[in-house]
């Protein structure tokens, strides 16, 4: 029995500022998705949020890139935008970059992670959602989960994991992709994905030796870059990811382990700063200090005949208290630098912010050197 899980998100307005989502937007979204469930388009859904991003988690039988599913998401965001505009929420409709839906939501502003797979006897799924950062922020944890035996004990202890995985990596600037196998291509893989603003892990596949169907992904990350769509700064591309776990895949705890370290990501204030990624509970999924720090939530599920059993709020747990404390210490430390790199992002990445508009004003004041 194949199921498709689609996680589609958009920032359609924040309260206050870019900090969080108004409950009325979530109510509206639930109403739209409930109707689609009753009409049989969806098997199930959950509406969540992290920071100012409204998250639609949907299960259905239509496969990926389904026009009906994408249209449903688009129209749901439009309905939420209508309320955001009435309430004068900040940045109402900010991620809806197109006027009319034309078959696929990709390239229209919202971020999307979706995969179709055969539901196993026990199907464990984690949906990760980040705010105030970019798709490449998943490179580090996804590498750790699926390729690093110091993180994932199963890579050396479980015969089903010992052969490793296949990684689909996208060059999001030049729109190219490459498939790399780990452990064989491990160093090549790292040579690319360390450059997280350019190379982004898109999907993970099982290898030939795995009993899982080879063409069905075991993890997928959203890779939409708003800047390349809008051709101007309209906020960071706050990413999401879906990761399947257990029974021949990394265990739930191996999937969560990389987040025990608040590693540095790009984004935060004005999409222009490096800062620690803080794992938080759903209730702390709002961005405050310096519009952050960048945050990640993890919603855990078992899938039963396409239904979402859950969510369990996985970072609502003292096991991640130390990561949060370290994140705050790191935030204090790096904030001291103010506008100086490496707190502020390097020039190549600042091109995708509002800074070029400022630098333009200086253009005529520069003099040529001898
Ligand atoms: C970052 C983000 C915020 C805004 C900042 C300025 O992704 O959304 O940090 O960039 O609050 O927002 P505006 O320009 O809307 O006043
Ligand atoms: Mg916003
Ligand atoms: Mg956001």
Return the HEC string of 32-100.
HHHHHHHCCCCCEEEEEEECCEEEEEEEECCCCCCHHHHHHHHHHHHHHHHHHHHCCCECCCCCCCCCC
Return the percentage of the chain with pLDDT > 90, whole number.
Answer: 91
Cβ of 46 closer than 6 Å to ligand 1, yes or no, is no
pLDDT value of position 56: 98
Q: Residue 81 C-alpha to ligand 2 middle, in angstroms?
A: 12
pLDDT value of position 117: 98
Query: What is the mean predicted confidence (pLDDT) over 174-180?
Result: 93
Q: Residue 353 C-alpha to ligand 1 middle, in angstroms?
A: 10
Of 42-51, 64-73, 91-100, 303-312, the range with the lowest mean pLDDT is 91-100
Of 45-49, 114-118, 224-228, 345-349, the range with the lowest mean pLDDT is 224-228
Q: Which atom of ligand 1 is nearest to the CA of 131?
A: 7
Nearest CA-CA partner of 48 in 84, 20, 85, 88: 20
Is residue 210 scored above 80 in pLDDT?
A: yes
What does the alpha-carbon distance between residue 300 and residue 313 come to, in Å, rounded to a whole number?
7
Ligand 1: residue whose CA is nearest its atom 5: 270
Element of type H or E holding 159: none
Cβ of 91 closer than 6 Å to ligand 1, yes or no, is yes
What does the alpha-carbon distance between residue 203 and residue 244 come to, in Å, rounded to a whole number?
12
- Number of Cβ within 10 Å of residue 363's Cβ equals 7
Q: Choose which residue among 9, 11, 17 to substitute to test ligand 1 binding: the one with the highest number of ligand atoms within 8 A of its C-beta.
A: 17
Cβ of 28 closer than 6 Å to ligand 1, yes or no, is no
pLDDT value of position 98: 87
CA torsion angle 220 68 313 258 (round to 10): 10
pLDDT value of position 342: 98
- Average pLDDT across the chain, whole number: 96
pLDDT (tens digit per residue) in 70-111: 999 999 999 999 999 999 999 999 999 888 898 899 888 999
**Residues taking part in catalysis:** 11, 233, 236
Q: Choose which residue among 18, 226, 355 to substitute to test ligand 1 binding: the one with the highest number of ligand atoms within 8 A of its C-beta.
A: 18
- Fold of the 1-118 domain: Alpha-Beta Plaits (3.30.70)
pLDDT value of position 173: 87
pLDDT value of position 226: 72
What does the alpha-carbon distance between residue 261 and residue 253 come to, in Å, rounded to a whole number?
14
Q: Residue 268 C-alpha to ligand 3 middle, in angstroms?
A: 10
Cβ of 132 closer than 6 Å to ligand 1, yes or no, is yes
Tell me how far apart the terminal alpha carbons of the chain are, to the nearest angstrom. 71
pLDDT value of position 364: 92
Give 127's pLDDT tier (boundaries 50, 70, 90): very high
Is residue 151 scored above 80 in pLDDT?
A: yes
Cβ of 13 closer than 6 Å to ligand 1, yes or no, is no
* Residues carrying CATH 3.30.70, the chain: 1-118
pLDDT value of position 90: 98
pLDDT value of position 229: 73
User: With a cut of 0.95, is the ipTM above it?
Assistant: yes
Nearest CA-CA partner of 352 in 184, 44, 111, 135: 135
pLDDT (tens digit per residue) in 238-253: 999 999 999 999 999 9
Is residue 284 scored above 80 in pLDDT?
A: yes
pLDDT (tens digit per residue) in 2-14: 999 999 999 999 9
Is residue 230 scored above 90 in pLDDT?
A: no
């Amino acid at each position: 029995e194949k199921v498709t899980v689609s996680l589609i998100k958009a920032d359609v307005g924040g309260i206050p500022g870019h900090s969080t989502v108004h409950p009325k937007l979530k109510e509206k979204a639930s109403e739209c998705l409930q109707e689609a469930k009753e009409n049989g388009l969806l098997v199930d859904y959950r509406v969540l949020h992290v920071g100012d991003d409204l998250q639609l988690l949907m299960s259905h039988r239509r496969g990926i890139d389904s026009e009906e599913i994408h249209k449903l998401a688009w129209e749901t965001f439009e309905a939420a935008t209508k309320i955001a505009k009435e309430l004068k929420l900040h940045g109402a409709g900010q991620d809806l970059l197109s006027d009319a839906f034309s078959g696929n939501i990709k390239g229209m502003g919202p971020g999307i992670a979706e995969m179709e797979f055969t539901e196993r006897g026990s199907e464990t799924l984690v949906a990760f959602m980040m705010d105030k950062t970019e798709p490449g922020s998943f490179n580090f944890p996804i590498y750790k989960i699926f390729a690093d035996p110091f993180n994932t004990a199963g890579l050396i202890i479980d015969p089903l994991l010992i052969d490793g995985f296949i990684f689909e990596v996208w060059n999001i600037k030049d729109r190219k992709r490459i498939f790399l196998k780990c452990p064989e291509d491990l160093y090549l893989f790292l040579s690319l994905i360390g450059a997280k603003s350019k190379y982004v892990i898109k999907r993970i596949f099982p290898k030939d030796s795995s009993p899982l169907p080879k063409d069905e992904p075991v993890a997928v990350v959203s890779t939409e870059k708003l800047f390349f769509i809008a051709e101007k700064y309209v906020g960071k591309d706050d990413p999401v990811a879906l990761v399947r776990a257990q029974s021949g895949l990394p265990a739930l705890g191996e999937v969560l382990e990389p987040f025990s370290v608040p590693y540095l990501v790009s984004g935060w204030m004005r999409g222009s700063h490096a800062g620690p990624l803080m794992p938080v509970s759903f209730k702390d999924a709002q961005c405050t200090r310096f519009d952050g720090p960048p945050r990640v939530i993890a919603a855990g599920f078992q899938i039963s005949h396409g239904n979402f059993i859950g969510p369990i709020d996985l970072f609502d747990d003292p096991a991640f208290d130390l990561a949060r404390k370290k994140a705050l210490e790191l935030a204090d430390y790096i904030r001291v630098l103010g506008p100086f790199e490496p707190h502020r992002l390097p020039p190549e990445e600042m091109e995708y912010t509002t800074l070029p508009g400022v630098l333009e004003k200086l253009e005529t004041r520069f003099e040529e050197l001898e």
